[in-house]
Structure 1
Amino acid sequence: MQCIADLHIHTVASGHAYSTVREIAAVAADKGLKLIAITDHGPKMPGGPHPYHFGNLAAVPDYISGVRVLKGMEANVIDREGTLDLEEQRLARLNIVLAGLHTVCSPHGSVAENTAMMIRAMQNPWVDAIVHPGNPEYPVDYEKVVQAAVEYDVALEINNSSLTISRKGSQPNCEQIAALMKQYGAKLIIGSDSHYCETVGEFTAALALIAKYNFPPEQILNSSMEQIAAHLRRRKYRVI
């Protein structure tokens, strides 16, 4: 299966990534991607951008090097209520919102507490996907998370970086999540979680994992532009 888009990419604005938007778009074009999402971390991440950064993303062109550029963020979940680290008026102006649990931003808890926190984040009307849900630092009840993703129409990510260079120990968790997603018909995104331009569109490990479960292409959002647009536009008040 071919992914035509990378929906999880970081620029220098995240504070711990190393490429510009232009560099990322050029690599994406060289690799044949049709669409990228710029999803820098929210402001609670150490070194992360000020909220004004997200308000000014309109300055970024919609197309660079022939590649469609979505302006988004990877929001940090900052409390057990699932609160994100950007106010709703700014979230509403973004093309795509990812949300994730991160050690320096999100409280650690029991499986029940972590599961409730992740599900509450899904209930935010602007959240389009939960990223790296298999992170072993935040154990959750995977079945409840997948069922909630279906209920709230939020995608779950299989994160290539989690299977290669970060969040060690994610592989068996991601296997469980993938099996449950196939069982319940949850929407899936494959993300590079790129922090350097040359890894944009790198999905090798994630694709190998999901190949075991024979997902139909229509369940994988970044297999077509139409599916990405349909998912993001399910919020009728969002403009893409």
Structure 2
Amino acid sequence: MNYVIDTHTHTVASGHAYNTLLENIKYASDNGIEVLAATDHGPKMPGGPHIFYFSNLKVLPRQIYGVTLLKGCEANIIDFNGNLDIPDRLQKKMDIIIASLHDVCIEPGSREKNTNALIAAMKNPYVDIIGHCGNPAFPIYEEEVVKAAKEYKVLIEINNSSLPESGSRAGSLETCKKVARLCREYGVSITIGSDAHSCFQIGKFEHAHKLLMEVEMPEELIMNTKSGKILRYLKNKGKLEDLQLD
């Protein structure tokens, strides 16, 4: 299966990543990625960018090195009501928003509280993706989350960096498999994110691909296989007004 979209990448602006935006885009261009989402951490992440960084993304062109750039954010869910660390006025201007739980931004709660936080975030019309929901630090009721994703038309991320035991969130694999199987069962679209913190990770989905093949995820539910899938999804949500699709 060919993947041409990466919906989760970071630059030096995130504070603990190692390449610039142009370096990321050039690497993506050289390695077959047609659509790249720049999703630096929201400002509540220690070392993260100031809010002005996100308000000024408008200065960037839509196409760079032949890659369609999505100007976004991995926003931090900061309470169990699903509120984000990006104000509404900026959320409206983002091309793409991932909402994620990070234990440096919110103390993990009970399974019920964590589930409520994700579902509440999904009710936000500007949230497009729920990030790395297999994180064992934040146990959830997986079926409730997947059913809510279907109801609110939000994508579930299969985060490649979470899956190996040496990865960012060791112990995520079994929950991610369960979530993926539920997405297949309920017909919920997923997106693969590299969660790249260096350009060399962009478009590297070997662990996520293996998982998706194991659970027999149908290609029509995988957003990364054709650029038009993610772009139409976002346009249907009222985003990417400047972009014309065939």
Alignment TM-score > 0.5, same fold: yes
Task: Give distance in 1, aligned partners of 2:224 and 2:177.
Answer: 19
Q: Which residue of 2 aligns with 1:30?
A: 30
Contact 1:192 1:200 in 2 (8 A): yes
Which deviations, in whole Å up to 9, do the C-alpha atoms of 1:46-105 show, x marking residues without a partner? 011111100101122212211111100000000011000011111111110111000011
Q: Which residue of 1 aligns with 2:16?
A: 16
Contact 2:181 2:217 in 1 (8 A): no
Q: Which residue of 2 aligns with 1:175?
A: 177
Contact 2:180 2:217 in 1 (8 A): no
TM-score (norm 1): 0.97
Q: Which amino acid aligns with 2:216?
A: N
Q: Which residue of 1 aligns with 2:72?
A: 72
Q: Which amino acid aligns with 1:167?
A: R
Residue 150 of structure 1: SS of its match in structure 2?
helix
Q: Which amino acid aligns with 2:126?
A: W
> Once the 2 structures are TM-superposed, how far is the Cα of residue 157 of structure 1 from its aligned partner?
0.5
Q: % of aligned pairs identical? A: 46
Contact 2:183 2:189 in 1 (8 A): yes
> Once the 2 structures are TM-superposed, how far is the Cα of residue 238 of structure 1 from its aligned partner?
5.5
Residue 195 of structure 2: SS of its match in structure 1?
coil
Q: Which residue of 2 aligns with 1:5?
A: 5
Aligned residues: 240
Contact 2:42 2:73 in 1 (8 A): yes
Task: Give distance in 2, aligned partners of 1:191 and 1:123.
Answer: 21
Which deviations, in whole Å up to 9, do the C-alpha atoms of 1:165-198 show, x marking residues without a partner? 2100001111111111110011100000000001
Contact 1:82 1:121 in 2 (8 A): yes
Q: Which residue of 1 aligns with 2:153?
A: 153
C-alpha root-mean-square deviation of aligned residues, in Å? 1.1
> Once the 2 structures are TM-superposed, how far is the Cα of residue 236 of structure 1 from its aligned partner?
2.8
Q: Which residue of 2 aligns with 1:124?
A: 124
Residue 118 of structure 2: SS of its match in structure 1?
helix
Which deviations, in whole Å up to 9, do the C-alpha atoms of 1:110-164 show, x marking residues without a partner? 1111101110011111000001000000000000000000000000000000013
> Once the 2 structures are TM-superposed, how far is the Cα of residue 13 of structure 1 from its aligned partner?
0.5
Contact 2:177 2:215 in 1 (8 A): no
Distance 1:113 1:178, change over 3 A: same
Task: Give distance in 2, aligned partners of 1:9 and 1:2.
Answer: 19
Contact 1:92 1:238 in 2 (8 A): no
Q: Which residue of 2 aligns with 1:110?
A: 110
TM-score (norm 2): 0.95
Task: Give distance in 2, aligned partners of 1:210 and 1:65.
Answer: 30
173, 190, 193: which one pairs with 1:191? 193
Contact 2:95 2:239 in 1 (8 A): no
154, 163, 168: which one pairs with 1:166? 168
Which deviations, in whole Å up to 9, do the C-alpha atoms of 1:2-21 show, x marking residues without a partner? 11110100000001101001
User: 121-130 or 213-222: which moved more?
Assistant: 213-222
Which runs of 5 or more residues in structure 2 are unaligned? none
Q: Which amino acid aligns with 1:220?
A: I
Task: Give distance in 1, aligned partners of 2:25 and 2:228.
Answer: 20
Which runs of 5 or more residues in structure 1 are unaligned? none
Q: Which residue of 2 aligns with 1:142?
A: 142
